[in-house]
Every structure is written in C-alpha cells, then in structure tokens.
Amino acid sequence: MALELIGILAALGSAASWAIGALLLKPFAERLPAMGLAFAKGILGLLLLGLAILVLGIPSITAPVFWVLLLSGVLGIGVADTLFFKALRELSPHSVVQLMLLGQVATIAMAMVFLGETLAWQELLGVVLVIVGVAVVLTEPAPASGKQPRDQHQMSATRRGIIFGLVSVMSMAVSVTMAKGVLDEVDALTATFLRILGGVISLFLLAPLFYLGRGNWLTPLVSDRRLAWRFVAIAIFMTFGGFFLSLLAMKLTPLAIANTLLSTEPLFVLLIMAVFYKESPDARRLTGSLIGVVGVGLISSKSFLT
C-alpha cells in the first residue's frame, strides 16, 4: 500500500512537472526556433542518459532493434518535439497539454489498425469523451452581439497551432507504437537513449535545410548565455520531474490509475495559473479538462477488467 501511494504521488508529481514545464517553455517557444529547442533538449537528454548508461553498463543490442528505435526517435523526437514547440508558440500551454490527451486516442487507433485490437464499450466512451474535452477547450464561443470578432491573424495562428499539435500527437503515437514492438529486447533506459539519438541526428541533418538563408538555427539560443542556462535548468527539471516520475508511477501503480493521474496535466496548468498568475480558470476550460481526464480514465480502465 505504501508503494502504491508513492506511485500515486509520483504520477501527480509528473503531471505537475509537465504542466510547469509547458508554462515555463512558452516564452522560449515564442522567441526561439522550434528545431533549435528540440535539438538542445535532445542533446541534454543524451548527456544525462548517456552518463546513466555508462554508470550502469552498456548493454548489447541487435541491429534491427537499434534501427527501429532510431527511426522511432526521428518521429517521436525530431518531428513530434519540434511540432510541440511550434504548437506552444501559437496556443496557450493549457490548450497544448489538453491537445496532447489525443495521444491516447491515436495510440488506440494504431493498435486497432496494426495489431487488430477491438474497443470495449468503456474505451469507446473514453475516446469520445477525450475528443469532446479537447473540442470544448479549443473551441471558443462565438462573440456576443455588438462585439468585434477575433482578429483574423489570431484565428490563423490558432488553426496553425492545432494542426501542429495534432501532427505532433500522431507522430508520437506512431513512434511509441514502433518502440513498443521491441521493448522486450532492450531495457527502457537504452531504448530512450536511442530514440533521443535518432531525433538529435535527424534534427542535426535536416534543420540547416529548413533554415537555409535565415542564419544559424542555433544562434538565438546559444547567443544569450543566461537564456541558455535557463533552458537547461527547465529541461533537466522536466527530464527528472516529468519523465522519471512517470516511469516510477507506472512501476508502482496499476496502469489505469497511473495513466489517469498522468493525464491531469491540464488541471495542473489551470491550478498553477490560478495560484501563481492570479488567473481564474473559466468554466469552459475547466469543464473540458475534467471531461478529458474522465475519458482517459475510461480508456485505461480496461486494465482492471483483464
């Protein structure tokens, strides 16, 4: 019971860490190239995980597993992380983390298409609730009579942000599905290192092409030492507070409980905004967040019934 309580606290701590990270990274996403941020985050992850692997010992790995994990990283880190930062530039942190809940839906869709799995009634209801929750948060009500409609540029930015977020979610879902197929043959630490390595290599090779003629894509980040160190501190916090605690939660807590608690990120964003930024959450965002969390809970509940 004590270990399960630690797992529950770890899940809540992880959700809070990702929520804090999204809020802290928002200014970086607005000012700096998304590929540069994804690359810097990846390099830091490689250093931290590489040191851990050196301490614990370098495991052997087959060539097919190596290439699957590397390609998984290209999608999950190179593509998904870059588009996450692009979405964060256009949308609020709360909208982005709410949008990420669709990863649960995307993963189920991948399992149905590639693994032939079928949905139980509670999973189907959960999928509907997650989609409804995301729609409630991202769909603003029409302006009242006599008020000016939203600025067209702002509307375009919102649409771009939603598209970036959706493609990020889909890329991550494909990446996770690929990685799951070989996880029985490699430990989680090494698998994570290889996935990040794939993302870093792809960004190193492709980013200069995307930024051709627009200067060095890393200059805005490395030119300001204080800004760079702030980003490093946030990335370390998210790596240990978000990633490590989520693994601990899944190890010590039943999957349904861990998955549901980890999905409370949008609620933590609203709580942090209320406590530290004095912004009261509006009913629409709060309702959408609660609907989404209930939906994830229903999706995860299948683990209790098997």
Instruction: Give the residue-averaged pLDDT of 286-299.
Output: 88
> Does pLDDT of 77 surpass 70?
yes
Following DSSP, what letter does each residue of 86-124 receive, concatenated?
Answer: HHHHHS-HHHHHHHTTHHHHHHHHHHHHHH-----HHHH
Band (189; pLDDT cuts 50, 70, 90): confident
Range with top average pLDDT, 147-156, 255-264, 283-292: 283-292
Alpha-carbon distance values, 206 to 39, 210, 268 (Å):
11, 7, 35
Q: What is the mean pLDDT of the chain?
A: 80
Query: In three state form, how does the secondary structure of 19-61 look?
Result: HHHHHHHHHHHHHCCHHHHHHHHHHHHHHHHHHHHHHHCCCCC
The answer to whether the beta carbons of residues 231 and 39 sit under 8 Å apart is no
Whole-model pTM: value is 0.79
- Estimate the crossing angle of helix 121-138 against helix 102-115, to 10 degrees: 140
- Among 168, 199, 151, smallest CA distance to 87 is for 168
> Does pLDDT of 113 surpass 80?
no
Q: Output the six-digit token pair for 82.
A: 């870059």
Instruction: Give the residue-averaged pLDDT of 91-107.
Output: 85
> Does pLDDT of 299 surpass 90?
no
pLDDT tens digits along 5-26: 888 888 888 889 888 988 988 8
Alpha-carbon distance values, 110 to 55, 104, 106, 180, 298 (Å):
36, 10, 6, 12, 18
Following DSSP, what letter does each residue of 270-299 receive, concatenated?
Answer: HHHHHHHS--PPPHHHHHHHHHHHHHHHHH
The answer to whether the beta carbons of residues 73 and 197 sit under 8 Å apart is yes
Band (174; pLDDT cuts 50, 70, 90): confident
Alpha carbons 168 and 269: distance in angstroms, whole number:
20
DSSP letter for 172, please.
H
| Residue of higher predicted confidence among 201 and 244 | 201
Sign (positive or negative) of CA dihedral 268, 270, 271, 277: positive
